[in-house]
Structure 1
Amino acid sequence: MRCPFCGSDNTSVKDSRAAEDDTAVRRRRVCESCGARFTTFERVQLREIIVVKRDGKRSLFDREKLQRSILIALRKRPVDRDRIDQMVSGIVRKLESGGETEVPSSEVGELVMEALKRVDPVGYVRYASVYRDFKDPSDFAQFIEKAALEDEDDDADGK
C-alpha cells in the first residue's frame, strides 16, 4: 500500500479489525519511510455495478459518492456514523445481490430514500429535495404531506 503522505511503498499494517457491521476490514497502517499513520478499508465487491444516469451516461458505482450524499442529507442530525455506514453497506448489498450489472440511478436514489426514511425523517426530506428536484416551498409541503399519508397507511396496515 502506497503512503498517501510521501508516496513510499514501504508500509506495514499495525492493526486490523472488523468494521462496518463486519462487511469491511479496517487496517491501521504506518509508513516505514516517513512514519505517518493512516487507515485503509477493505471490502468484498461481488461485482462491478454500472450506474445508468438519467441522460443515459454510464459510470462505475461509487460507494464513497453514495456515502457523501447520505452524509450531506444527515448533516447536523443525531445519526451515528456507524448507522450511516450500515445504511451504505445495506444499499450496496442490495445493489450487488440484485443480479444486474447495470442499475438506473433512480433505483439507487429510491434505495437511499427508503433507508433514510427509516433512519431520519429530516434527512429523508433533505435528500428528497435534491433527488426529486424541489423548486419551491410548495414542493416540500406536498412531499411531506404525501409522506405523512404513507406513514398513516403503513400504521393502519401494521407495518
Structure 2
Amino acid sequence: MTTMNCPDCGNERTRVIDTETSADGMSVRRRRECQRCSFRFTSYERPEWDSLQVKKRDGSIESFSAEKLRVGIERAVEKRSVTEEDVTNLVEAVESDLQSRETRIVSSSLVGDLVSERLREVDQVAYIRFVSVYKAFSEPEEFLRELDAVLDSELDASDSTDQSDNT
C-alpha cells in the first residue's frame, strides 16, 4: 500500500475518499483527506515506464535510444556542413518532444517524422538522405517526388523573399 503525505501538514496518514479512472484508462484520480488536519487534496496515478519505448513497423517494441537516433542522423549529415552541435540539438529536440507526450510508447514513424521535419530545416541534402532510408524508397520515382517537393519549397521561399525585397 502506498502512503501519500498531506501537502498541508505533512502527515503520512491520509485516506482515499473517492477514486475515478480516466476515460482512456491510463490514469487514476483520487480525492484524499488527511486524518490529522482534514485537508482534502487530489492525487493522480499513472503508469511510468523506466524509459521511452518505440514500436517498430513489425510490431516489436524496444527502448528508445538517443545514440541510435544520433547514428542515423550522423549518417544523413555525413560530409555536409552540419556541426556536431546541430546534431546534438536535433537529437535533444526530438527526444524532448517525445518525452513530453502523454504516452511512453511512440511509433518509429513518429520518430522519423520528427527527425525529418527538423533535418529539413538544417540541411536539405541530409533531409533527402534521411527520408530515402526512413521511408524506404524502392523506386527512383519516389526519390524524385521527394526531391521535387524540396526544390519546390525552396523556390517558393526564394520567390517570397524576392517579392518582399521589391516592396
- Bin of the TM-score, shorter chain as denominator length: 0.5 to 0.7
Provide the secondary structure at the position in 1 that maps to 2:145.
helix
Provide the secondary structure at the position in 1 that maps to 2:79.
coil
Q: Tell me what 1:136 maps to.
A: 139
1:38-97: CA deviations, max 9, x gaps?
xxxxxxxx9611100111100000110000000000011111101110111111000001
CA contact (8 A) 2:55 2:106 kept: yes
Q: Which runs of 5+ in 2 are unaligned?
A: 1-48, 162-167
TM-score by length of 1: 0.64
The Cα of 1:145 is off from its aligned counterpart by: 1.2
Give, in whole Å, the separation in 1 of the partners of 2:156 and 2:103: 32
What amino acid does structure 2 have at the position aligned with 1:109?
Answer: G
What amino acid does structure 2 have at the position aligned with 1:74?
Answer: V
Residue 60 of structure 1 pairs with residue 63 of structure 2: yes
Q: Which runs of 5+ in 1 are unaligned?
A: 1-45
TM-score by length of 2: 0.61
Question: Which of 94, 99, 104 in structure 1 is aligned with 2:97?
Answer: 94
CA contact (8 A) 1:91 1:111 kept: yes
The equivalences for 1:55-134 within 5 A come to 55-134=58-137
- Give the 3 Å change call, closer, same or farther, for CA 54–157 of structure 1 in structure 2: farther
- Give the 3 Å change call, closer, same or farther, for CA 110–154 of structure 1 in structure 2: farther
Give, in whole Å, the separation in 2 of the partners of 1:117 and 1:157: 19
**RMSD, matched Cα:** 2.3
Which structure is richer in relative contact order (CA contacts within 8 A, separation 6 or more)? 1
Give, in whole Å, the separation in 2 of the partners of 1:154 and 1:101: 37
- Give the 3 Å change call, closer, same or farther, for CA 78–49 of structure 1 in structure 2: same
User: Across the two proteins, how many residue pairs are aligned to each other?
Assistant: 113
Greater C-alpha Rg = 2
- Give the 3 Å change call, closer, same or farther, for CA 101–79 of structure 1 in structure 2: same
Give, in whole Å, the separation in 2 of the partners of 1:104 and 1:135: 22
